[in-house]
Chain A
Amino acid sequence: MRRLLPLLLLLLGIALPAFAQSTSSPTQAFPYTLKTDKLPNGLTVVRVPYPSQGIVSYVTVVRVGSRNEVEAGKTGFAHFFEHMMFKGTPRHPEGERERILGTFGFDDNAFTTDDITLYYSYGPTAGLPQLIDIEADRFRNLEYSEPSFRTEALAVLGEYHKSAAAPFLKMEETLNAAAFTKHTYRHTTLGFYEDIKAMPEAYQYSRDFFQRWYTPDNTLLFIVGDFDDDQVMKLVRENYGPWDRKTSTITVPTEPPQTQPRNAHVDWPQPTQPRQVLAWHTPAASANTNNAAIQTVLVAYLVGPTSPAYKQLVLEQQLVESIGSDYVDHRDPHLFTLTATLKDERHRDRVRLALLREVSKVAAGKVDAARVKAIQDNARYGALMALQTPRDVGIQLGWYAGILGTPDGLQRHLAHLAKVTPAQLSEFTKRYLQASKLTQLSLTPKVDTAGGTK
């Protein structure tokens, strides 16, 4: 099965809404206008006027993440490559980006996920011409030396070590390895530790990675803030127009259906709270289904702050410090999770069964419509509250566009959320949150009396 189907369809200009130019109007949930153009080379350029008095955010999302890492030994590369994107070009050698953008005071950063890599610069509109020039140049002509590459690999290793202090990275690694047997979601965004340590040797591969994925037809650009649209589009066309690579196609292995419950366990060698995770295989997020919206509502319904499970386990019985979910929208089928941070190992089963009971109720059709409506109100107002700056707007737009493969991904997601019905929650739960598709992860602290530092 070709997991890249949505992307291929995008390339062929069918199935997904074809647009050369479009304008979307403000809605109650998203009170901003999107002006969208697609350049002949396939680059999608979205501008969003925002009353920010001379401040602009500039967000580039590339539809590449650890999901694309199909070669053995090369996990973590999308994230590593994000680091390398700051290393200069023949025209702007290493260090020059900093001088040019630094002069204006841009906050200039990026992050990588399983599915996307998102770059953002946030600062004064006065620097926008220089920013467009230097951004287009790096996406077209990135070039760095092998010593620079080798050194940066050590910073990535440092990032791994920093993250390894808390149990979450180990938990995610263990859960993914248990839940996925074939799909690249088997490894985390940071990648396997052994692969990270081997990164300095992969210089040539990194060059190929750039050619393969950093292409205009695999990239969306969002410019949000206070700027002259005509002037900006002129500069964007001039600078990005000659970018001419085509994205690669790879086959991301399809995850075979899970047919039996699975268990995984972590012994954590330091003091920490016991933890329990329930994870079911569920469908991908996509622009034309409400699967992501249903799962978003379901998280709030099952373990949100107004859920019976929260009231019972957190507030009344005080068996857990917290309950929640790590559910994140993904391009391919991923996991719907419920998580519990326990106060005492002895209550593990009680908590686990209480969560499963809540799932069973929904599967049996017992859904409180008033609570669903409250969740939808929370989603609508929460979206408004979350968009406080052009940076917020740009990153949210970029995130959903990257996952869903359409520039209006955020608006679609919000529209889907408003339409979720109690019956849909029930049907989805019955269909996907089944015992046979469940992987359970437990974590227990194993500390010797001397403090566990052998």
Chain B
Amino acid sequence: MKTQTLVSLTALLSLAGCASQQKPAPEHTPPPAQEATATPPVEAPPLAPAEVPAIPLQQPKPMELVVLARPDTPIVTFRLVFHSGSIDDPKGKEGLTALTATLMAEGGTQKLTSAQLLDALFPMAAELDTSVDKEFTTFSGRVHRDFLPRYLDIFTDVLLAPRLDAAELERLRTNAISTVENGLRSANDEGLGKAALDALIYEGHPYAHYTGGTVQGLKSITLDDVKAHAQRVFTQDRLVVGLAGAVDDALKQSLLSRLGTLPATGAPRVTLPTVTATSGRAVILQKQTLSTAVSMGYVNPVRRGDPDFFPLAFALTHLGEHRQSIGLLFNELREKRGLNYGDYAYAEHFIEDPGTTYNRTNIARTQQDLTVWIRPVDPSHAVFATRGALYFLDQLVKEPIAQERFDLMRGFLQGYSRLWEQTDPRRLGYAIDSLFYGTPHYLEQYRQALTKMTPQSVQEVLRRRLHPAALNFAFVTQDAEALANALRSGQPSPITYASDKSQALLDVDKSIIGLPLPVRADAITVTPAQSFMEK
């Protein structure tokens, strides 16, 4: 139960929002082999690479400034992005970066207690938030220009002179532990499945632990740890400064001169290890729940800036753009078969930007993942739904997308991608991400690339760069042993429907029911959800 602000769009949309759409016409069903429009490749697709090296992201110059000023708004948007994240958490103190950032943003400044900070921001309706991901930490702010001088003092004090007091540390630590114990493990099967997949595919890697920390890691953090960490990771050499909206030269200079008192440098950059690609592993988290949540994916060497990224991203949007009913999985698994509430696919790591259906910005990663998300299904359909997702992923590798569908999806992305950049915070976010990925004008480049793609050119990329056999799986379910046995046995997963289905659908089902899942019988782990992210 959340506090409802006056007109919180997020709250409105979270009331009972739901996408609900229709199935595609028959020609959108993956065509039978004899209707394939291209000559099937004679050689088998290449295997997934055995290793995904950590090719460093680009490094903007210290305190690089990104400004997107516009005259038609009274709002100023701040976006300070540090190339520091949960990978900077020391071993045994998982959660330190997130807890430090939260304490800075919420715990007051040397001039203002946390309560006074809230009092000061409240009449302005000003925003001051932080969010932490694996490699990046963002401090974001928005304020009406009526309050700019006062807000600028507060916003910069949060970074330059945070209060960092012991009582606030205890409060926020307790909340962070509760987020793991009561939130992630207990009340959010979907989030739990995604975090479990992260932990599985990045095992032993600094990405593996939950960004918010582990229970024992959070418990071990001291106030001295926080003070030292702020100096180590929130430094000029890791910072990009974003300003948008009602911005003038005076504001730019004032902000930069103040931030110039941050430490110039701090801790050496974390050297990310090569990921030794695993495949066919499954983790089943056992907890009391009505349904089964499914996430699957693998570490993916293709990231923004790679010439193959745009075709891959396009294909994954065709398969399942997040919470859009146009995706193939949504239509096949939800709309036609009624298995669940939604089914989506992602060419890069995805975290929903609150109140939207778009990916958050400034969560760039050196080593990306490619994932498929099956929203909770009836436990009796868990294996069928997993096979179903795999079947349609396989189709992408085997056959080009039909021209009509291809044209539809190209049009869709030309328009839909414009929605991703409709607000100042998001525009800044994209511009800042482009510095790290080396992809200037990223969305415009994407739209340009779309005009040149063909079904054949995309399929050629998919054949080389999409690897269904490399998938790993995370499930959240109540009867974990039954699911583990079903996965181990490889037995067919038949399905019956409560309403009439077309013969074409039943024919596809025949292929899905017995489809071999790339799960190794000796690589299935059952874990109680209550022990997840303990340490």
Residues of A within 8 A of B (CB): 51-52, 54-55, 79, 82-88, 93-99, 102-113, 122-124, 126-127, 146-148, 150-155, 158-159, 161-162, 164-168, 171, 189-190, 200, 269-273, 275, 277, 296, 299, 303-306, 310-311, 314-315, 318, 321-328, 339, 341, 343, 373-375, 377-386, 388-389, 391-392, 395-396, 399, 410, 417, 451-454
Q: Is B300 an interface residue (CB 8 A)?
A: no
Q: Is B268 an interface residue (CB 8 A)?
A: no
Given A155-B20, A324-B1; A384-B74 close (CB under 8 Å): yes
Q: Is B472 an interface residue (CB 8 A)?
A: no
Q: Is B36 an interface residue (CB 8 A)?
A: no
> In the complex the two chains form, is A96's CB within 8 Å of B415's CB?
no
Per-position contact with A for B12-43: 1 when CB-CB < 8 Å, else 0? 11011111111111001000000000000000
Given contacts A270-B187, A383-B7, A451-B286, 16 further A-B contacts (CB under 8 A): A98-B325, A99-B24, A105-B412, A109-B19, A111-B16, A270-B288, A271-B185, A296-B6, A303-B3, A315-B114, A315-B168, A384-B75, A385-B142, A389-B422, A451-B287, A451-B529
Hey, which chain B residues are within 8 Å of A152, CB to CB?
20, 335, 338
Q: Is B205 an interface residue (CB 8 A)?
A: no
Within 8 A of A (CB), among B312-344: 323-326, 334-341
Within 8 A of A (CB), among B183-206: 185-190
**Chain B nearest CB: distance from A99 CB in Å?**
6
Closest to A311 in B: B115
Please choose the segment from B226-234, B235-243, B301-309, B496-504 that sits at the chain A interface, where 4 or more of its residues have CB less than 8 A away. Answer: B496-504
> In the complex the two chains form, is A107's CB within 8 Å of B21's CB?
no
11 pairs of residues in contact across A and B, judged by CB atoms under 8 Å: A52-B422, A86-B22, A99-B408, A109-B357, A158-B339, A165-B188, A273-B178, A273-B182, A321-B174, A339-B1, A384-B144
CA distance A377 to B125 in the complex (A): 8
Within 8 A of A (CB), among B516-535: 528-530
Q: Is B484 an interface residue (CB 8 A)?
A: no
Closest to B77 in A: A388
Q: Is B2 an interface residue (CB 8 A)?
A: yes
Per-position contact with A for B281-302: 1 when CB-CB < 8 Å, else 0? 0000011111100000000000
CA distance A108 to B20 in the complex (A): 9
**Chain A nearest CB: distance from B135 CB in Å?**
27
> In the complex the two chains form, is B1's CB within 8 Å of A162's CB?
no
**Chain A nearest CB: distance from B147 CB in Å?**
8
Hey, which chain B residues are within 8 Å of A343, CB to CB?
174, 178
> In the complex the two chains form, is B338's CB within 8 Å of A107's CB?
no
Per-position contact with A for B405-439: 1 when CB-CB < 8 Å, else 0? 00111011111111100111000000000000000
> In the complex the two chains form, is A86's CB within 8 Å of B419's CB?
no
Hey, which chain A residues are within 8 Å of B118, CB to CB?
305-306, 310
> Which listed residue (A82, A98, A306, A417) contacts B122, Cβ 8 A?
A306
> In the complex the two chains form, is A113's CB within 8 Å of B499's CB?
no
A-B pairs with beta carbons under 8 A, tally: 302
Hey, which chain A residues are within 8 Å of B114, CB to CB?
315
Given A102-B411, A303-B3; A318-B174 close (CB under 8 Å): yes
CA distance A111 to B16 in the complex (A): 5
Of the listed residues A165, A270, A451, the one surrounded by the most CB atoms of chain B closer than 10 A to its CB is A165
> In the complex the two chains form, is A151's CB within 8 Å of B335's CB?
yes
> Which listed residue (B182, B339, B423, B498) contacts A271, Cβ 8 A?
B182
CA distance A420 to B6 in the complex (A): 14
> In the complex the two chains form, is B340's CB within 8 Å of A155's CB?
yes
Q: Is B89 an interface residue (CB 8 A)?
A: no
Hey, which chain A residues are within 8 Å of B1, CB to CB?
168, 171, 275, 277, 324, 326, 339, 341
> In the complex the two chains form, is A453's CB within 8 Å of B478's CB?
yes
Hey, which chain B residues are within 8 Å of A373, CB to CB?
123
> In the complex the two chains form, is A270's CB within 8 Å of B416's CB?
no
> In the complex the two chains form, is B326's CB within 8 Å of A272's CB?
no
Closest to A339 in B: B1
Given A146-B499, A306-B118; A103-B3 close (CB under 8 Å): no
> In the complex the two chains form, is B125's CB within 8 Å of A95's CB?
no
CA distance A181 to B341 in the complex (A): 31
Hey, which chain B residues are within 8 Å of A378, CB to CB?
6, 122-125
> In the complex the two chains form, is A107's CB within 8 Å of B357's CB?
yes
CA distance A399 to B6 in the complex (A): 12
> In the complex the two chains form, is B18's CB within 8 Å of A318's CB?
no
**Chain B nearest CB: distance from A454 CB in Å?**
8
